[in-house]
Amino acid sequence: MVQIETIETSGLGDRSYLATDGGVAVVVDPQRDIDRVLELVDKHGVRVTHVFETHIHNDYVTGGRELAERLGAAYVLSADDQVSYDRLGVGDGDVITTGALRIRALHTPGHTHHHLSYVLEDADGRPRAVFTGGSMLYGTTGRTDLVGREFTDELTHAQFASVRRLAAELPPETKVFPTHGFGSFCSATQASGQESTIGQEHQVNPALTLEEREYVDNLLAGLDAYPAYYARMAPINRRGPAPVDLSLPVQVDAAELRRRIEAGEWVVDLRDRRAFAAAHLAGSLGFELSTNFVTYLGWLYQWGTPLTLIGESEQQIAEARRELVRIGIDALAGMAVGDVAALADGEPLRSYPVTDFAGLAKAMAERDVHVLDARRNDERAAGGVAGSQHIPLHELRDRIDDVPAGELWVYCGSGYRASIAASVLDRPGRHVVLIDDSYDSARNAGLES
């Protein structure tokens, strides 16, 4: 009996898969930190014969090539993708059989030009599951603007046709296993649910419920900014990523931390956003190590700038290191672990208050306060705090001079992005207040314009 195991990468909103018949196995779209796959292989006691890529990824550095080399497996991707290494190139209709697994490639362009979906069939050729990469997602489709703006309209029409093809050629009970759509910016709109079938997608997927023109218009209208680091991922994946390195960076002392901050290097504090607000090194940046850490650090990071991490423990540093290698940030300049007061090198720590939208409503009733909205454009379009200034977080470093000095209240949708914005803005002359609250509370407090 065929078993499919899911390997979740929640920080990037992606999934990888291992499918096995109990003796041999194949892997689909593995992330860079391949030790998770290797542990799963050992757990099942299987032999991996093939590693499949649905497409050249734009949102992460693949672990596929290294995994295939480590396991002596064939590395499979579209024959039409131009890469700098040997691989097993496949195209539409090609079938690979290994053990009791039979995998048929379907050309499903849209997310990229040469995107493939892989249909897992039984011995009689009946589809049981389909790995859809960035094509058919749960209740949505992959975005179509990552290859280049000049191709977006063409690829959006292609995406519509691809999803229609999957729905037409595969029986309703076929299980759908996408790579993107679990919070990934590779998704055109928010995905719905944690599992699905072709039959369920017939009922909810816009590529199947809308006419082509309406689908295309809606998708194009909904496309907003995506992380800046995406532009670096496909070139790395075409060249072939270097072997992954998850080792800890070198330790640095308090004096060296201060020197690095003063030199304009990135010193990133991984602690909880409220702990950072209560006490942090002047000039450091707060990126709480939680689900959205790597997306927003990668988005704001000035590529090539030396990066040093501050953490409460070596384990916290190791977790951040793992997240960062997934997007190709390999060269960490160092780490510092321990109590932040001991890392201050005798300099006073900085802090700022944390409140909620009820606190903001009280302050606004008492005096004029400047409020900054750090959410994306699509969120702002649905409403914002009355009178607030809107600068999306990913634009803040380039527009920091647009933010006035003095008292400044910062909010987003949940508090996470606002906490990063607050750390960027926390400099002499500004008195930052972090609103660590769900934006729903702003509506409930009557603050929305």
Report the chain's mean pLDDT, rounded to a whole number.
96
- Provide the pLDDT for residue 190: 84
Q: In sequence order, what are the beta bridge partners of 172?
A: none
Please state, in angstroms and rounded to a whole number, the distance separating the CA atoms of residues 140 and 216.
Answer: 12
For residue range 318-332, what is the model confidence (pLDDT) as tens digits?
999 999 999 999 999
- Provide the pLDDT for residue 124: 83
Assigned token pair, 361: 């409503």
Q: Which fold has domain 254-343?
A: Oxidized Rhodanese; domain 1 (3.40.250)
- Provide the pLDDT for residue 371: 98
Alpha-carbon torsion 426, 432, 438, 443, what sign? negative
Q: Are 28 and 14 in contact (CB under 8 A)?
A: no
Can you spell out the DSSP letters for 212-281? HHHHHHHHHHH-----TTHHHHHHHHHH-PPPP--PPPPB--HHHHHHHHHTT-EEEE-S-HHHHHHSB-
Can you spell out the DSSP letters for 279-329? SB-TT-EE--SSTTHHHHHHHH--TTS-EEEEESSHHHHHHHHHHHHTTT-
- Provide the pLDDT for residue 122: 87
Alpha-carbon torsion 149, 150, 153, 154, what sign? negative
Please state, in angstroms and rounded to a whole number, the distance separating the CA atoms of residues 165 and 106.
Answer: 9
72 exposed, middle or buried (CB, 10 Å; 0-12, 13-18, 19+)? Answer: exposed
In sequence order, which residues have a C-beta less than 8 Å from that of residue 48 and are 6 or more positions away? Answer: 18, 24, 25, 26, 27, 41, 67, 71, 73
Assigned token pair, 286: 């707060």
Domain 254-343 and domain 354-444, same fold? Reply is yes
Sorted by where each begins, the domain ranges of the chain are: 3-237, 254-343, 354-444
CA of residue 396 relative to chain centroid, distance? 20
Tell me the CATH number for domain 3-237.
3.60.15.10
Report, as ranges of residue numbers, the positions in the chain whose pLDDT lies below 50: none
- Provide the pLDDT for residue 125: 87
Q: Give, in words, the CATH class of 354-444.
A: alpha beta
Please state, in angstroms and rounded to a whole number, the distance separating the CA atoms of residues 343 and 256.
Answer: 10
Assigned token pair, 56: 């050249």
Closest CA to 227 of 305, 159, 154, 294: 294
- Provide the pLDDT for residue 192: 82
For residue range 185-230, what is the model confidence (pLDDT) as tens digits?
999 888 888 899 999 999 999 999 999 999 999 999 999 999 999 9
268 exposed, middle or buried (CB, 10 Å; 0-12, 13-18, 19+)? Answer: buried
Q: To 5 degrees, how large is the angle CA 142–CA 148–CA 150?
A: 110
